[in-house]
Amino acid sequence: MIALESLASCLQGIIPAWLYTCSRDGVPNAAILSHVDYVDSRHVALSFQFFNKSKRNVSENPKAMVRLLDPDAMKAYRLKLRFVRTETEGPIFESMRLRIEAIASYSGLKGIFKLLGADIYEVLSVDPIEYEPGLPGAPGGTKPEPPPPASVPFTMKALQEFSDRIHQAATLDCLLEAILETLEKIFGFRHSMILLATDRPDRLEMIACRGYPEGGVGSEVGFGEGIIGMVAEARKPIRVSGMLRHMLYADAVAKRAEARGLCPKDRRIPLPGLAHPETQLGIPLLARSELVGVLCIETDRTYRFHEEDRAYVEVLGGYLAIAIQNALLRERAEEGEEPPARPRPEGTPAAGPPGARAGLRPRIEVEYYASDECVLVGGEYLVRGLPAKILWKVLREHGADGGVEFTNRRLRLDKSLQLPAYKDNLESRLILLRRRLEERCPEIRIAPSGRGRFRLELGAKVALTERP
Amino acid sequence: MGTETPITVELAEFLQSGLAIVLATRDGDFQADGAVAWAAVVQEDRRRLRVFLHALAGKEMLRNLRSHPEIAVNFDKPTTHRACQVKGTFLSSRAARPSERAMVDRQVDGFASELEAIGIPRPMTAGWKTWPCSALEMTVTHVYEQTPGPGSGEPLR
């Protein structure tokens, strides 16, 4: 029998499979399958999401057949199966559940499009299908070659190099940049983002991203929403290949569910980055059992992961979490003393003169909504929560005394900011604020000016309005 | 079967539009098997369906169908997942005629376009063996909704 392990590419859900079953009274049935999961060398798992004809058939007659297609060679295989049992817990079930629920939440189907069970089948035989030989081989082949699949990059050598580069990062800001840059340069992942836990429960906020022209720092994701939220909730890595096809499948379910009034419209949540990702991989950043954040990698081409990659990915996530947490602790420990003179020295401009940097607005209106802890600039949402409170405090103080130098320590001592006494993540909030300003309001800059210090730089006249 | 056919004119057009088509059969031990088909033609009375599949696939399916004529044919449009399943009884088989090749090619092309729209480029489908075909004829007894989601599996009327 052909080893199941040699069919790893077929078992990634990149191209749907077909399931053939037969009822007790001899009526055959064919059904499309979005994913066949590898269990071990003798078993596969199929998702049980609806009590459909296939499920009824295997309940009364355990014999089944699956047609699998190799997405690289387009060669087809026939797997003769025998239904063994349905699992409703355990690692196989959990891995399938997370993937399905991540897709479901993108389509507004959370709670409807869900895994009821992982049906475990014994594989009795694996045979190539003679009349579906796939693409001709290179020697003598006359047909065009398929695009080569992305190679699997998780090797010890690559991880070592990754680690070396990250060690060189002196600050949290540099570390975040180094992580994303290295993911591209060593592993070839051009689209990635890091989201960190916020001061609000069950929310993550994007603090750094790479490969997205429109940015997105400050975007929020709730636990359980999409692949990132599911990773945060379950604290397990999730990988989805063939995203477009999975989304189309889920959309078909959503349309029928909406038509029957089973789910409201407009519950969809946007994809976090690429409009049409082919693969998404979410990695929990866990340090000492604490969720520091989530690393999300996207590819716009099909990417092959293998079972052993999961272990590498989990090691990588743990390593990055500790590096981020250490950077936060180090910056707090080394933060600067209060500057001796807060008012600006005589003759020194309080900030850059209005219009000093090209393309800036000469005047901006900054509004702070106290009840929502939210800042708007020119009527457009900028930031909320702790970063909003920090920005408001800094701008007001500058307006009152012209001070431009601030320290993290001073912010920590300010009771109005209501920072938690333990693990306030102030440094990450400041990075988020700085990046958010760079993206959305370049007229205001908070530039690092030393360990635990930053300088306010204004490129426009700023009018402040506080609203309830 | 009554005088009504479950295949409407609109459904007939859909079935012939170039879709993912697979048929399922079974043997004497109730072991199901199946094969990809490349085209389907709804007969004028809309109570019979002719399915075209590679001759080697046809030979395999006929091993079951000659003794166990129950047959199911699933149609799925990859870009929307609109899908249905036609069930019926095998009637006869013959080699596809050269005059039918253009029709098969047209449906294969439609299916390849659907796949292209969901990210499977033409070079990936270039190795398909779509000819010579066997043409299997079946009666249509039932058509079931197969679009995923609530209501999947219900009879189409």
DSSP secondary structure string, A181-229?
A: HHHHHHH---EEEEEEE-SSTTEEEEEEEES-TT--TT-EEETTSHHHH
Q: What average pLDDT does chain A have? A: 84
Give the closest-approach CA distance of B76 to chain A in angstroms.
8
Average pLDDT estimate for B3-27 = 93
Contacts of A377 (CB under 8 A, 6+ apart): A364, A365, A366, A367, A440, A441, A444
Confidence of residue A338 (pLDDT cuts 50, 70, 90): low
Q: Which residue has the tokens 């009152």?
A: A400
Q: Could you read off the pLDDT of A225-264 as tens digits, one per residue?
A: 889 999 999 999 988 888 888 888 888 888 888 887 776 6
Give the closest-approach CA distance of A249 to chain B in angstroms.
6
- The fraction of chain A above a pLDDT of 90, given in percent, is 42
Per CATH, domain A363-467 is 1.10.10: yes
Enter the tokens of residue A468.
């309830």
Provide the total of helices (H) and of strands (E) in chain A, helices listed first: 10, 20
- For residue A287, the Cα-to-chain-centroid distance in whole angstroms is 18
Which part of chain A is CATH 3.30.450.40?
Answer: 156-242+278-333
Average the pLDDT over each of A32-41, A148-157, A406-415 and give the range with the smallest value: A148-157
Q: Could you read off the pLDDT of B131-156 as tens digits, one per residue?
A: 999 999 999 999 999 998 888 888 98
pLDDT for res B153: 86
Is A332's pLDDT higher than 70? yes
Residue span of the structural domain in which B77 resides? 9-145
Distance CA A338, CA A408 (A): 9
Question: Residues 353-392, chain A: which have Cβ within 8 Å of B?
Answer: none
Nearest CA to A408 out of A168, A174, A169, A172 is that of: A172
Q: Could you read off the pLDDT of A153-210 as tens digits, one per residue?
A: 677 788 888 888 888 888 888 999 999 998 888 888 889 999 998 877 888 999 999 9
At the top level of CATH, the class of A156-242+278-333 is alpha beta
Say whether A70 sits in a helix, a strand or coil. Answer: coil
Residues in chain B: 157
Cβ contact, residue pair A29, B20, below 8 Å: no
Distance CA A11, CA A70 (A): 8
Note whether A248 and B114 are within 8 A (CB). no
Find the residue in B nearest to A54 (Cα). B153
B57 in a structural domain: yes
Is A428's pLDDT higher than 80? yes
Q: The domain that contains B123 carries what CATH number?
A: 2.30.110.10
Is A6's pLDDT higher than 50? yes
Q: Could you read off the pLDDT of A90-145 as tens digits, one per residue?
A: 999 999 999 998 888 887 777 778 899 999 999 999 999 988 877 765 333 344 44
Q: Is B119 on the interface with A (CB under 8 A)?
A: yes
Distance CA A171, CA A335 (A): 11
Which part of chain A is CATH 2.30.110.10?
Answer: 4-128
Burial label, B143 (beta-carbon count in 10 A; 0-12, 13-18, 19+) = buried
* Sign, CA torsion A2/A44/A148/A245: positive
- The fraction of chain A above a pLDDT of 70, given in percent, is 86
Distances from the Cα of B5 to the Cαs of A15, A183, A295, A332, in angstroms? 34, 58, 55, 76
DSSP A130: T
Enter the tokens of residue A12.
């990634």
Say whether A25 sits in a helix, a strand or coil. Answer: coil
Q: Is B130 on the interface with A (CB under 8 A)?
A: no
pLDDT for res B58: 96
Enter the tokens of residue A26.
């001899």
Give the closest-approach CA distance of A77 to chain B in angstroms.
11
Q: Residue A29: beta bridge partners?
A: A21
Q: What average pLDDT does chain B have? A: 93
For residue A62, cis peptide bond before it (omega within 30 degrees of 0): no
* Strand residues in chain B grouped as ranges (E): 20-26, 32-37, 39-42, 48-54, 70-76, 83-95, 133-145
Distance CA A61, CA A23 (A): 6
Q: Which residue has the tokens 């070592």?
A: A160
pLDDT for res A357: 62
Nearest CA to A21 out of A51, A65, A52, A74 is that of: A65
Confidence of residue A337 (pLDDT cuts 50, 70, 90): low
Question: Residues 250-269, chain A: which have Cβ within 8 Å of B?
Answer: 251-257, 260, 262
Is B65's pLDDT higher than 50? yes
Nearest CA to A274 out of A250, A248, A303, A244 is that of: A244
pLDDT for res A150: 52
B155 in a structural domain: no
Phi and psi dihedrals of A450, rounded to 5? Answer: 140, 175
Q: What is the ipTM of this complex?
A: 0.95
Q: Could you read off the pLDDT of A345-370 as tens digits, one per residue?
A: 444 445 554 445 667 889 999 999 99
Distance CA B112, CA B140 (A): 26
Give the closest-approach CA distance of B148 to chain A in angstroms.
5
Question: Residues 401-440, chain A: which have Cβ within 8 Å of B?
Answer: none
H-run or E-run covering A315? helix A307-333
pLDDT for res A268: 57
Number of domains, chain B: 1
Mutating which of A256, A274, A302 best tests the B interface, going by the most B Cβ atoms within 10 A? Answer: A256
Cβ contact, residue pair A252, B31, below 8 Å: no
Contacts of B152 (CB under 8 A, 6+ apart): A50, A52, A256, B145, B146
Question: Which overall architecture, per CATH, does domain A4-128 show?
Answer: Roll (2.30)
pLDDT for res A265: 60
A&B contacts, CB < 8 Å: 150
User: Which residues in chain B are closer than 8 Å to A67, comparing Cβ atoms?
Assistant: 22, 34, 36
DSSP B96: P
